[in-house]
Each structure stands twice: as structure tokens, then as C-alpha cells.
Amino acid sequence: MKKLLLLIGSIILIMTSGCGYNSGVSTSEPVSYLYFTGEAEGAEVFIDSVSAFIVTEMGNKELYKVSPGKHVITIKKGSQVLINRHILLGDGHEKEFNVPKFNQESK
């Protein structure tokens, strides 16, 4: 009887050991976001002195991805610098840039 119970217990142990819980941490790629308001349409955005993109969509629902960390953001229209800011972005953070009206006379 003891051998039968030992055999049944061993079979149950072997069968349940294959159904282990796999734990781990799943992380996504760190990313932050910029969005633009005001007179931003058509403006050229430079991130750390590198030409990144032209603003085509505006508002807080139109997010542009950027890596978290310290950045220098420069926004130009033509040759005129409209915004030049040093920012620090955390993972998942959003930053608004309200672009002022472009003065075409100083082109």
C-alpha cells in the first residue's frame, strides 16, 4: 500500500512540475513624447542639433516620439529660431511646445 501511495504521489509530482509559473518582468522600450500647439504647422524641429522632422500634425493627441533624457529642442520656421529649450524628459512623459506666430518680415 505504501508503494502504491508513493507511486501515485511521484506521478502527481512529475505531472505538476511541468506546469510551473514563469515569472519575469516585461518592459517596453523607453519613450517620451512631444506635441505642438500654436503656430507649429510646417515648423522644423531639431533635437540635439539634428534635424528630426517637420511638424505636420498639432494638438495633444498628435504625439511625436523621442527618447527619454536631456535634450535641446530647437524649433525653426525658415531661418528664424522660434523656440530653443533645454528639457529633461522621463519615460512616458509628454512635453508641449506652444509655437509663437512666425514673423515673416524677419526672414
The string of pLDDT tens digits covering residues 70-87 is: 999 999 998 899 999 999
| 107 band by pLDDT with thresholds 50, 70 and 90 | very low
Query: How many structural domains does the chain have?
Result: 1
CA-CA distance, 47 to 32, in Å (whole number)?
A: 13
Residue 70 within a domain: yes
pTM over 0.75: no
What range does the domain containing 39 cover?
Answer: 32-97
Evaluate whether residue 92 is within a structural domain. Answer: yes
| Residue 82 located in a structural domain | yes
Residue 80 lies inside a defined structural domain of this protein:
yes
The domain spanning residue 52 has which CATH number? Answer: 2.60.40
Is 39 within a domain?
A: yes
**Tens digit of each residue's pLDDT (9 = 90 or more) over 10-61:** 777 777 766 666 666 666 889 999 999 999 999 999 999 887 799 999 998 9
Tally the residues of the chain: 107
**What pLDDT is recorded for position 18?**
63
CA distance 41 to 37: 8
